[in-house]
Structure formats: C-alpha cells, structure tokens
Structure 1
C-alpha cells in the first residue's frame, strides 16, 4: 500500500513537471528559422524502430544498435530561456519559437560513422557521449541533449546513447532492466569511439538511471580488457540513480586506471527520494551529502569531485534536472567540466569558491563561514581542497583583522 502511494505521488509530480499535453511526433523534419541555431547529433539507440516518422523509435527493445544523424533547430535566443526545451504547442512547429527537427538520416556503423565523426570533431578532437535517464521518450532524450550541447557551448562532437524507456512512471522496473539490456551496446559504442584514430578524448555524461547503465558499461569494459579505455578520460554523473554500495563496488572493479568522475548531487531531489524508497531504502548516489562521513572520506580516497546543487533553485518540482536547467551549471559544463578541467574560483566566483572549501573548514574561520551559507553551488574537490583550505584561512584571518580594526578604540 505504501509503495502504491509512493508511485501515485511521483506520478502526480511527473505529471506537473512533464509534457503537459505537448504534441507527439515532433521528429518529422520541419525546417529552421532565421536566427535559429542548429545542433547536429549522432544518435545511437537500442530502441525498436517505429513506423511513425515523427516518433522514429519506441520504448521497446531492439536486437541491435541503430545509428541516426538528427539535426535539431533551436529558436533564436530572444525567444527562449537558457536551460529549457521550448516544445512546440502544435505541429508543424514554429522554428522561430520552438525546437524543431531539421533532418533525420539513418547511417551505418563503419565508414559512415567515421565520416560523421571526422566532419564534426573540433580541434580538441573530444567526443561527448550522453546517456539519458528514466522516463524518457526518444524525442525527449534527443531534444534535451540538443539543448545541453547548445546552451553549454561545449566544443565537442555530440553523441547520444538512448536506451528503451517506456516513458511511464509505472514502468520503473522495465526501464531499469532496459539499462541492463543495453550494457553491451553502450560498451560497443564506447569501444568503437575509443579505437577510432580521429578521436582524441571522450567525456561520458549520464543522467539519473542512465548513470547505472554508464557505470555498468565501464565496469564491464574494465573486466573484459583489464582497464577502461584510456581515451575515456572523464565521466559526469548528474543526479545519479545509483545505490551507493553498488557504486562503490563498480568503482573498485574499474581499478586504479579509471576515468576522472564528477558528480552532481542535490539532497532535495524528490525523484531520488522515491527511488530510494522502492530500492530498499539505501542512499542514492545523487542525494548524498559529501560533507559527512563516510562519504567525505570515500570521495577523497577515490578522487571524486562533487558539485552539490542543493541550494540551487530547480526548474521543476522534482529538482531532478538542475544540471541541464540551471544556467550556472550549464555554463560550468561547457566552460570546464566537459573538457575535463577542474572547476576553480575563476569559473564559479568568490562565493562558490568559499563554499567549496567551507565543506571542511568553515567552522574554524569565524566570520568567513557566513559567506558559504547562501552559496548556490558547493564544490567538493579532493584534488584542490587543501589549496582552498589555505585560501579560506587567509580570507577568514583578513576578515577578522578588518573587523578588529574597525571596532578598535
């Protein structure tokens, strides 16, 4: 009974935050508009093809991987909000005010795929592969990723791996099994990209349940080959719907030569609250507090960077999509994280920098601690925390000296 009530509550929340009666079949090519931007995606999927050209792929499972090039048009900046997908209110869409599909072209693995990569790789030769989360239709995943690529300004060749989701809140278990079903295909995609001589480095980014699929594919690769492919340098997990105990085992299986991991967490993520309740009441990785034990020590020992978005206002009532909907976070993704670089004070500003180091030292520096209280993004980075600790101590001492001078007789 309790489980049923949980699903009903989540269904109501998803209904509020979800599609809201938007039209289905948006993938029929309908052109672009003056001032609009175009994002060219390589889409790999284990979904079963649909006979409807506006849907392309269903939520059912296919026996083999399919590849498609899809070009998405994004309306001019004056008609949209960064972090949001402007879904058309009717079909055909108005490309000046809504996302639209410019072209859809099936391609074959091999020469056609290599040609697409060579035509879209930037000077850095970096590929960004995105894996979506629970409750996503094919078009949901494609348009959301196009938005992330566009708004982040990431200098990458954008590839998305989309797995069979029935896009129903009541099909959580089906979706979870679909991620397991898709492990081999994702590993195959990663192997192909890693072995392509044109590709320099690969960043993997996954959201929600897609994090399980991503880490499982990397674990499987490490077991098969003795390590994760060296070209896969960075892994970003946003709101990961992952059992913390299982994640620990997965990381151990990858060995020491694993990619650099960055987590986006938020303790007010309502979707992960429900996931925890239906998964044995074990903490979900996307909801941990990185400042408390045992997580603090475990993260430090593993060298995992965490961006805590709890204080950041979400764009939906579930607080499950902050990584894509927040302009601040999207900017960080494009400027630093996707390129595998460390987030520093120059990227997030003084308040956020103080928030980062306050995780370990705020209680020791007096008035400096108050700066961190209103921080929207708090960063836990074991590689730079000692440097920041020293900076925070100096800042605290400076503030105390300033206050002391002001009140001295």
Structure 2
C-alpha cells in the first residue's frame, strides 16, 4: 500500500533526524557508557594549570573478543574489530583528583583513566575446529586441551580476586553501542565504585565502535553484538562455574542488553534441558538492564519463549504439564525512561511499538502493548521490576545510569544491600506493581 504524503514526509523527517542527530545522541551521550560521564568536570572549568594527584587505583578483570592492537609505545589495547578468540586479563584504572587554582576543593567524583592493560590468557580461535575420524566427527583434542587450560586460567583469576573481595560475588557489565574498550572499563569502574568495590567486577567487552559513521556504524555494532553472544555465554558459564562464586550479577546498558538477553536465552535453554534453572546452574541472581535497546516483543520472546514451550525437552523428554524449575533468587530489573531520545530514534528506525528502555506503566496498559506476556509473566511470577526514570540525563536522556546519583543509589541498594523494591532504603514510589518510579532530584523537578 503506497505511503500517504504525510506519512512519507514523516518518514523522511525521521531519517533526516537520525542522520544529523545520531552522532551527538548515540555516540557521546546515548550509548557511550563511559565517554564524558566518568568523572566529568563541570562546564567551564579551567584545568590547564591544575596539578594531578595520583590516588589509589582500581583493578578490574576484563573479558573481550575484540581484536588486539599494539599502540605506539607497545602497550596493549583493543580495537573495535572482531577478534576470533576470547581474551581475558587485568585492566587498571587510575583515580585522579583534580585541584584548581581558584579553590582548594577536590572533585568529589574522581576521574578514572586506563593506566595499564595486561592480558593473562586467551582461548583458541572460535568456532573451534571439528575433525572427521573413523568413528565420526569430533572436536580437535588439541583445541579442547587449550580451551580447558584457558578456562582454568580465567577461573584461577576469578578465584584470586574472590579471595580479596569482601563479597564472594561477581558483577559483570556489558556495555552498549559505539563504546571503546576503555569506555567499557571506565563504566565498569564507575559501577564498581558505586558498589563500594566490594564485588569482583568484570568488564565484558564486545567489539562495538565500528567505523562507518553513526548510521552505518550502528548496524555494524548490531551485528557485532550478535557475533559476541556465543563468547559472552561462554564467559558467563565459565565464571559462574568458579569455586567460591556465591552469586553472579549481570548488568547491561542499551545495545548490550540485547547481547546479554540473547546469551541468557541460550544459557536458559541449556539449564532447562538439564532439568535445572539459570539460578541453580549458573548462580545468576540479578539481571539489571539500563535503557535496554531492544524491542519489547523480541525481549519477551527471548526471555520467556523457550521455557513456555510445552514441547521443549526437559531432560530426556518434554513435560508439557509439569512444573517449571524453581526461579530461586533470579530477578530482573529494567530501568526505562519515556524521555530517552536515543531509544525513540531506535524505535522509529526498527519500527518498534515499544522499546524496552522506554517502557512505562502507561505504555504497557495501552492497546498496543497491554497484552504483552513480559508484563503478565513478570506480574504473576514476581521475577521483575520495571523502574521508570523521569529525569533529563543529558541531551539524549540515555545515560542516566552513570550520571544520576539516585539511580546509582538504587543500584547499590539492590545489589549491595539486597533490598527489594518497596523496602525502606530503595528510593522508589510504587506506580502499580511491577512498575515503580525512582525518586531523583531531576525527576522531581520534571513534575
């Protein structure tokens, strides 16, 4: 059916907006988990004559399938290109406190920068090769041996860090679109500081930041995210299997939410087929999605599609009328904002009725989304909370998970203090369960 003149004009205006605004909406402010957000200085601050005092540093574990590159001084760095082997190591973030000539004040949120990146191990190139024997095809034994050594090395590093951590729990952060390796590490450091550095913190970095400009670069990153799912699943499986890990908490932002949900879908299928659950098999306790850039229907299908299928094998055979495995401590928390301009553009680009990162109690009760299974299943099982952010975090309203202190405090209350929505200590106002609104200074000013 041909487009009407008005609809055609609307579509043209939308793509014109995408073309001109994506560089400033999706690159520095929207899906950039670190750029300009960690330790950002107030506008107009003069820093030319400011002495820098090196304070203590923060050491994180990184896991990445980015291609490596050596810098001019031979220091290790990682690119936006896809690597075909999963690497892991240590990334050290130095904290800097800045003093200014016009006063003795020290920045309350110290800036973080990458001071050193050290690779500790690497898995074989994937997909792993298969060889044909007289008995049939099998994995190449030498490759399997190399995988086992790498997995033991990664688990050994997690064990070492657990011994020094106050909590025997691991927090993994998955970044969004157009983030560099350094961006991801800085954002992970910010989250780790928010949690008082009590957990083992892991930056799980996939090859985002591809060239091609804002528009084509988004599509490149989208496919790179799909490419990364298998390695992300592998990393979660190995880390969760480390002796001494009590709980695993998974956090993702924007495009990274789609990558994480896809990996969780596959891990959930693995667990269900072995008559287990993600909590029991992989120790997954919290899944936190900030401004998730994924279609609501797609997210619902990935989260609930397999387990709701009566023909899905539960062990040796399907059990259509049997009880599902117990959920345990698994809990999903989704932070969304109707003011998120980046996701509004993404919704228009992909034709979404609702982007999960813009989901609100009002939109879920509309005719378009009111019958959605994500809301029904979450309400019935109590496994999810949807937290609305009504503030204005920057130009695009997409970076509030790093820039708004109320959101950071709520994350700390959720993971560190283990408080539920509605408990004292969570700055939330109930809308209609499972929907809540986070109380922040920005949101109060906007009402």
Query: Could you state the TM-score of these two structures normalised by the residue count of structure 2?
Result: 0.68
**Secondary structure, in 3 states, of the residue corresponding to 2:294?**
coil
Listed as ranges, the matches of 1:50-199 within 5 Å are 50-52=69-71, 53=74, 56-76=77-97, 79-82=106-109, 98-108=111-121, 109-121=150-162, 122-166=165-209, 168-170=213-215, 171-199=217-245
**Secondary structure, in 3 states, of the residue corresponding to 1:36?**
strand
**Secondary structure, in 3 states, of the residue corresponding to 2:225?**
helix
**Secondary structure, in 3 states, of the residue corresponding to 2:70?**
coil
Partner of 2:401: 323
Give the counterpart of 2:385 among 305, 321, 327. 305
**Secondary structure, in 3 states, of the residue corresponding to 1:63?**
strand
Judged with a 3 Å threshold, the aligned counterparts in structure 2 of structure 1 residues 15 and 165 are, in CA distance, closer, same or farther, namely: closer
Higher strand proportion (structure 1 or 2): 2
Displacement of 1:104: 2.0
Partner Cα separation in structure 1 for residue 91 and residue 405 of structure 2: 25
**Secondary structure, in 3 states, of the residue corresponding to 2:157?**
helix
Partner Cα separation in structure 2 for residue 186 and residue 375 of structure 1: 33
Query: Could you state the TM-score of these two structures normalised by the residue count of structure 1?
Result: 0.74
Instruction: Confirm or deny: 8 A CA contact 1:44 1:162 kept in the other structure.
Output: yes
Structure 1, 179-188 or 117-126: larger mean CA deviation: 117-126
**Secondary structure, in 3 states, of the residue corresponding to 1:348?**
coil
Instruction: Confirm or deny: 8 A CA contact 2:406 2:439 kept in the other structure.
Output: no
Partner of 2:343: 272
Judged with a 3 Å threshold, the aligned counterparts in structure 2 of structure 1 residues 151 and 61 are, in CA distance, closer, same or farther, namely: same
Partner Cα separation in structure 2 for residue 144 and residue 153 of structure 1: 14
Q: Which runs of 5+ in 2 are unaligned?
A: 1-11, 37-51, 99-104, 122-149, 308-323, 443-447
Q: Which runs of 5+ in 1 are unaligned?
A: 21-32, 83-96, 361-371, 379-409
Displacement of 1:72: 0.4
- Is 1:10 paired with 2:22? yes
Listed as ranges, the matches of 1:288-303 within 5 Å are 288-291=359-362, 292-293=364-365, 294=370, 297-303=376-382
C-alpha RMSD over aligned residues: 2.9
Partner Cα separation in structure 2 for residue 112 and residue 230 of structure 1: 19
Judged with a 3 Å threshold, the aligned counterparts in structure 2 of structure 1 residues 12 and 373 are, in CA distance, closer, same or farther, namely: closer
Partner Cα separation in structure 1 for residue 188 and residue 83 of structure 2: 22
1:133-168 per-position Cα deviation (integer Å, ceiling 9, x unaligned): 111111111112112211332521001111111255
Listed as ranges, the matches of 1:239-278 within 5 Å are 239-253=291-305, 255=307, 257=326, 259-278=330-349
**Secondary structure, in 3 states, of the residue corresponding to 1:101?**
strand
Structure 1, 188-197 or 54-63: larger mean CA deviation: 54-63
